[in-house]
Amino acid sequence: MPSRTISAFAAEEERRVLSLKPVLAPAHGRYGDHPHHTYDRWPSDDPDAPLVVLLHGGYWRYDRMHLTPFAAYLSRQGFDVLLPGFRRSGGAGGYPETFDDVARIVDTLPEGRPYVLAGHCSGGHLALWCAARGLLPEGSRWHTRTLPTSVLALAPITDLTATRRDDLSDGAALQLLGGEESFARRLPEVDPLTLLRAAGTTGVPTVLLHGAADEEVPLTQFSDYAAVHTDLRTVVLPGTGHYTLIEPEAPGARAVAGTLRELAAAFPPGRADQEAAPR
C-alpha cells in the first residue's frame, strides 16, 4: 500500500499538536505491579468536580506524554483528570495485556465515582470497547457488568477490520492482535463494531465526536459505527482535523470540554454500584 498522503493543513496540525511540550502532572499513582501500571492525575480542589478518565491514542504503541497538555487543559476547565498508562503494542503489551490493563484501569481507578471515560484515536477504540464489555460472553476474561458512567470517543478507531484493511499506521491493528494468524480469532472480543452488531447498543451513554476534516482516521469508521450503534450521539465539528480535538484552547478542544460537561451533568446521584475490587 502506498504511504499515507495528507494535506498541508493536516500535516501542520499534526506537527503543531504533537510537538507541544509535555506537562508534568501534580500527582501520580499506580494501579498494578508492572512499570507501565502508572497514572498521572490533575486533581481538583472541588470535591464535586466531574471525574474524567482519559485514554491516550498513538495506535496502541506510543506513550501518554503527548496527551498531558490536553489533560492539564481539562483540569483548568474544572475537571478532575486521570491519565493512565498501560502496556502497549510493540513492547510489553498488545493482546491480551493492553486490554487487561485498560479493564483494570476502569474497574479500579474511578473508586466508585461516576465518571466520563474519554479516549482519542486508539484510546477512543479502547473507551468504546470498555463500554461494550457487558456484551462479551460471560466466560470472557473481560466480561463485566461494571461499565463506565458515560463515554466520549474522540475521533476513535471503531473498526479493527477496516483499520487492518487500510493499513493505518503501518499495520497497527495486526500488531495489536498478534499478527495474521490470530487476528480473526481475537477480533470478536476486542472490536467495538463487531460487539455492537447484534446488540445495537452498549447501554452506556456514548458520544462520538470528530472533525469533518479528519485525515488520520477514515470518516467511514465514524459513520459505520454510528449506523450500528442505535442510541449513539454524534458531534461533527466543521473544518476540524484529527489533532486539534486535543490541542489546548483550540475550538475543537473547547467543544470537547463542553461535551464533557454535558455528559457529567447527567451523572446520577450516588453510584456505589460503580465500585469494583482490583483484579
174 touches 232 (CB < 8 A):
no
Residues 6+ apart with CB under 8 A from 143: 133, 134, 136, 137
CATH number at residue 186: 3.40.50.1820
In SS3 terms, 129-152 reads as HHHCHHHCCCCCCCCCCCCCCEEE
pLDDT score at 275: 38
The answer to whether residue 21 is domain-embedded is: yes
pLDDT score at 220: 98
Mean pLDDT confidence for 264-270: 85
Question: Predicted confidence band at 270 (pLDDT cuts at 50, 70, 90)?
Answer: low
The fraction of the chain above a pLDDT of 70, given in percent, is 95
The answer to whether residue 271 is domain-embedded is: no
DSSP character for 273?
Answer: G
Write out pLDDT tens, residues 143-194: 999 999 999 999 999 999 999 999 999 999 999 999 999 999 999 999 999 9
The pTM for the full model equals: 0.95
- As for how many domains the chain has, the answer is 1
Mean pLDDT confidence for 26-47: 97
The answer to whether residue 208 is domain-embedded is: yes
The fraction of the chain above a pLDDT of 90, given in percent, is 93
The answer to whether residue 122 is domain-embedded is: yes
pLDDT score at 211: 98
The answer to whether residue 12 is domain-embedded is: yes
176 touches 60 (CB < 8 A):
yes
Write out pLDDT tens, residues 111-147: 999 999 999 999 999 999 999 999 999 999 999 999 9
The residues with which 40 forms a beta bridge, in sequence order, are 28, 83
* Closest C-alpha to 221, from 251, 242, 243: 242
The answer to whether residue 3 is domain-embedded is: no
Q: Whole-angstrom Cα distance, residue 142 to residue 213?
A: 34
Please report which helix (H) or strand (E) contains residue 180, including its range: helix 180-190
pLDDT score at 111: 94
Q: How many CB atoms lie within 10 A of CB 145?
A: 9
pLDDT score at 92: 94
83 touches 71 (CB < 8 A):
yes
Domain span at 245 = 8-266
Residue 62 has pLDDT above 90, yes or no: yes
The answer to whether residue 279 is domain-embedded is: no
3-class DSSP state for residue 55? strand
Write out pLDDT tens, residues 210-245: 999 999 999 999 999 999 999 999 999 999 999 999
The answer to whether residue 278 is domain-embedded is: no
